[in-house]
A = this chain, B = another copy of it.
């Protein structure tokens, strides 16, 4: 049974765990829409399959696949990846999927935020988003997990990171954006995060690095490495398009204290040497209602967009000169973890990376 609860997680003794806490499984959505992914989604499907296989060495993976792609996905993925039919508008389960919360007994519940394609009719990326907005509830019911809805409150999982001890990282650019919850003040939004994730302190960065896409999701800029420690993107190259956001974010994090009063240790993580851009001649359908993708567009290729999962960190690799440096820096932050690079330049072409295309279900235990 999967009950739709009218209470809140905080009232019920549930909190959002950090990504470095134990996970039961990871969800992904198989990409296919030809107006976002080049060449009918085929290169992206290969990259998603590689990410799923890398994760499955540490954590069971469930891939959600449309009816039309079910047989192809089954043929492309090894048997250890579980495939479940589910309709969607695109393939970003971090943002349309549920945020799971747990209690002291290891019970898991889901928070099903409203999803409006990163800005709804104001500056969202596609229309409609009705199937995506059902994904979180469908996942909860699939797994027989009770859930909370947040009617009228829009949030994506990629816009928040938590330390599991009461602290949440986010950006003003996203959470205060006019396309999401325009009637809500900063303090009202903080109250929602407090109630639905059991958060005591929100650390606000000003901006993210993709104002045009997700309106600045935190998961391309910074994350928690462990309680009291964060990672933040960094570049000394003033010509890097992400230089200014990196510098400001690093300064803010260096001055910040967390919910327990700790000053944060901040690890620097490199940006790519060369910005990733959409290639000329990419075959991407043009559809009314979908944000256009044009040759030369800057892609959001951040090494920060990794997934921490049961003793491993699964890290994007962009065929860039800094790929190896990023792995070395992440290994220094996570000395006890396997650090696994996966080539995902094709995922960046679609607008995100490994963290954006995964959503962990914390749980009773790792596999």
Contact = CB atoms under 8 A, between A and B. Distances in A.
A103 to B, nearest CB: 20
A287 to B, nearest CB: 20
A138 B83 CA distance: 8
Interface string A161-202: 000000000000000000000000000000000000000000
B3 A134 contact: no
Interface residues of A, number: 22
Contacts of A138: 70, 84-85
A82 B84 CA distance: 15
A150 to B, nearest CB: 18
A71 B86 CA distance: 13
A144 interface: yes
A222 B266 CA distance: 73
A361 to B, nearest CB: 14
A134 B70 CA distance: 9
Interface in A90-140: 131, 134, 138
A6 interface: no
A110 to B, nearest CB: 14
Contact of A71 (B60, B83, B84, B134): B134
Top 8 nearest A-B pairs (CB, nearest first) are A67-B87, A1-B80, A85-B86, A3-B79, A83-B141, A84-B142, A1-B79, A85-B138
